[in-house]
A and B are shown apart, each in its own frame.
Chain A
């Protein structure tokens, strides 16, 4: 497409059916005396034979005279593009937009400081695997209600069913800083393996599983329709309200206070425990793996680090250790940018919540079960500015490293 700005121009297709003399067109357009006129016309489809129309681009200032000329000689024409410049501008805009968003050639050029669509994140995952085939693989643990793959990245340096750490982000779709951080964590792992002693030590003994878009249907919905959507997108029979809260759908205190029985509620527990495929797929994975030692589920916002229980005031058996480790983790987190976190059990720190993820995983015997609530504390809330993605991911990573290091150093 032409780079120069041109005044609006028309493309005119010349139909030769109407001319009386088949050769008139040819002659007139190419005759010496008419040549001057032709110099100002840009033929996009040149004269070939009398049966085929020609296409010409007419600059705006010539439009009147060209039309008059054609009408005078009874040469039929029709306008195909009213305003060429507008079309070019629009096309350029689309191209710029596409260049900004989707296309990255490798994970080094992925823009971590911006929010991405599900397609971009899924492409990133495949690209990361392709670039690091000896460290990263992708496992599809199931499908969402609407049939989207539930992708988990496995980071492993070998062994067979090694003790492992699970991290998930995006279980609540509106918490965009979490999926964004998850992609950053994925890249961080491959970058630091072999360079950072602490991470290398962990990966030499343990595997890491990372599910970045844990609620893909909800995530798509936050892009297309409602930025504040939290739940899954499964319809509820007998109700016009859609979705189940995937963090109230786990079989831990299910049915008790701390979740809602109303499909219209943001904390609807669902018709039964593990009714949501997004949840059931993780349940099945955890049970069949059988060797997870830490389970970290990442949410936003509130700046909290939480451990079980949410459904009960009964302290977790390992409360003392979990509390001390949480304190270490948030101290490390704070060291980077001064971000303050509160910490404690779910029920003491934030609110009572039944059917939550880490209550179930803890009851399965996964001792180091934690929930994060990332930035901020309400100023922007769910719509955290993109320029905070990387700082958030960086500081959170320090807390994750504290938990993973402790897990690795304290086998059980």
Chain B
């Protein structure tokens, strides 16, 4: 197999590494018109441009049995983490990819490439871990479609965080003022205990973006919640506005996103609006003091 793969790869040439270009920001078509969101002025300079991580079309990923040490399986597995967080994440429940054991990938005609993986997922707060069989289908053709994930990690989903979530929800609801926090974690990786649920909410909301943006040629992690601010709402659920930084490993870019989302124990996290912010070349963000 080793020799065959080498030949195949030689013929295909170098693998698709993402190229990064910068295009002038235009009104995002994803974002519905909302009087509360003032769109950034589109400037045709280098200063304010949206990062476009262009994924080459070449089909150069491994098919067949996957080496868990190598990136194809790792990238597909990370998508599962984002998927689980969008579905089941909460201020007290967060999933992380712990380990990739093995798997295989195959092309599915007219669909894309399907990965079947054995992975270990852990729930970070309780530190419980479970081995799960998962499937990730990266679609072909339709650029905007995000990966399809099938994952059941039943044991982990049984972890009961209802009481804590309800208590937090009550706390927010009875609080006279709206909460907000900045730089979670701070430069030193520190988060005040009372801000941890906010950080977790930021991660869960960001997971919707990371799931949507992930491909075989990218790997997303949360870099930092720049700020998260509770919004007033008449509804039962709580509402938050947050500005987060995502780290895309392959291009090494820090991608800023703005998210408006809701949370309640009953409904979980739902993203109302997501908007990629202009790439900030010289971000003079005030750092946290040492």
Which residues of A pack against B, CB within 8 Å?
Answer: 101, 114-115, 117, 176, 222-228, 230, 239-242, 245, 256-258, 260, 262, 264-267, 302, 313, 340, 342-344, 347-353, 377-386, 388
Contacts and interface: CB of A to CB of B under 8 A. Distances in A.
14 contacts: A117-B290, A225-B284, A241-B281, A260-B251, A262-B21, A302-B249, A313-B9, A342-B68, A342-B74, A348-B67, A351-B250, A378-B247, A379-B221, A381-B222
B189 interface: yes
Interface in B145-186: 185-186
B137 to A, nearest CB: 22
B290 A266 contact: no
B20 interface: yes
Interface stretch (B10-18, B30-38, B234-242, B268-276): B10-18
Given A267-B252, A342-B68, A386 B46 contact: no
A33 B290 CA distance: 55
B124 A381 contact: no
Interface SS, B side: loop
B71 A349 contact: yes
B186 to A, nearest CB: 7
Interface string B82-99: 000000000000001101
Contact of A230 (B189, B252, B290): B252
B134 interface: no
B282 A383 contact: no
Nearest to A380: B189
A228 B254 contact: yes
B75 to A, nearest CB: 10
B61 interface: no
Given A302-B249, A342-B69, A385-B190, A242 B221 contact: no
Nearest to B45: A240
Interface string B184-208: 0111111000000000000000000
A264 B46 CA distance: 8
B187 A227 contact: yes
Given A340-B99, A342-B68, A264 B22 contact: yes
A260 B124 CA distance: 35
B98 to A, nearest CB: 8
Nearest to A343: B69
A378 B254 contact: no
B47 interface: yes
Contact of A227 (B251, B279, B287): B287
Given A260-B20, A340-B99, A351-B71, A225 B283 contact: yes
Contacts of A114: 188
B70 A267 contact: no
B132 interface: no
B70 A349 contact: yes
Give chain A's interface secondary structure class. loop
A380 B290 CA distance: 18
A101 B290 contact: yes
B74 to A, nearest CB: 7
B283 A226 contact: yes
Given A264-B20, A266-B20, A267-B252, 7 more contacts: A223-B287, A257-B17, A342-B69, A349-B69, A351-B249, A383-B186, A388-B189
Contacts of A260: 19-20, 251
Contacts of B253: 265-266
Contacts of B221: 377-379, 381
Among A227, A352, A379, max chain B CB count under 10 A is at A227
A265 B20 contact: yes
Contacts of A349: 69-71
B250 A348 contact: no
B187 A383 contact: yes
B134 to A, nearest CB: 17
A103 to B, nearest CB: 14
A265 B17 CA distance: 13
Given A241-B46, A350-B71, A379-B124, A262 B22 contact: yes
Output the residue of B45, B247, B252 with the most chain A CB within 10 A: B252
Contacts of B124: 379
B2 to A, nearest CB: 10
B97 A377 contact: yes
A266 B222 contact: no
A334 B197 CA distance: 31
B14 A257 contact: yes
A307 to B, nearest CB: 12
B143 interface: no
A124 to B, nearest CB: 15
A386 B14 contact: no
A241 B48 CA distance: 11
A344 B62 CA distance: 16
A384 B285 contact: no
A240 B281 contact: yes
B187 to A, nearest CB: 5
B241 to A, nearest CB: 21
A49 to B, nearest CB: 47
A114 B190 CA distance: 11
B239 to A, nearest CB: 26
